[in-house]
Amino acid sequence: MNDIPMLVAALEAESVADRRRAAESLAMLAEQSRSAAIPLLHAVNDHDEGVRNWATEALENLGPPDPADTDSLLNLVETSAENDVRYLALVLLGRLEAGGSVFFDELMASRDSIQAPVVLVQYLKTLSRLATENVQRQRLQEMCLRELKHADPRVQAVSERLLASL
């Protein structure tokens, strides 16, 4: 079973076994399942641990996201109630590297919606991968300077490392 649309549909099946098999198959297809990124992000919230684990594995195996998914990824970063989904959406956006610099401002604007330190750390790392223009790097430096005062030492540490590299 490696027909991507069929596997994506199976991620929403009633049967846990069907959802788990679909997520596992998508994980095994690696970058070929790139078009399934958004449904896989939703599957990260499945009530079954096996589905969640395979969906996460599939997302880890993907390369850069399909440019058509960028708006959905940005929306998930800003609005998802699930930190795992936000984190993984940021990982995918970071894989755009310089090609994602056009989304830098929109992502910068979502800072206030990010509270969990682990998500904030990934947010800063993603911004650093997207910042290609001097003005973007300057804005990121300013943000990192503010984040040095964050209560969480992980946020402070990544801010310090990014400041040293910018």
Task: Give CA–CA dist 113/77, Å, rounded.
Answer: 8
* DSSP line for 84-143: HHHHHHHHHHHTTGGGGGGGHHHHHTTGGG---HHHHHHHHHHHHHH--SHHHHHHHHHH
pLDDT in tens, 6-57: 999 999 999 999 999 999 999 999 889 999 999 999 999 999 999 999 999 9
Look up the pTM and report it.
0.92
Domain map of the chain by residue range?
1-63, 65-166
pLDDT in tens, 105-125: 999 999 999 999 999 999 999
The CATH code of domain 1-63 reads 1.25.10.10
133 phi and psi angles, rounded to 5 deg: -95, 155
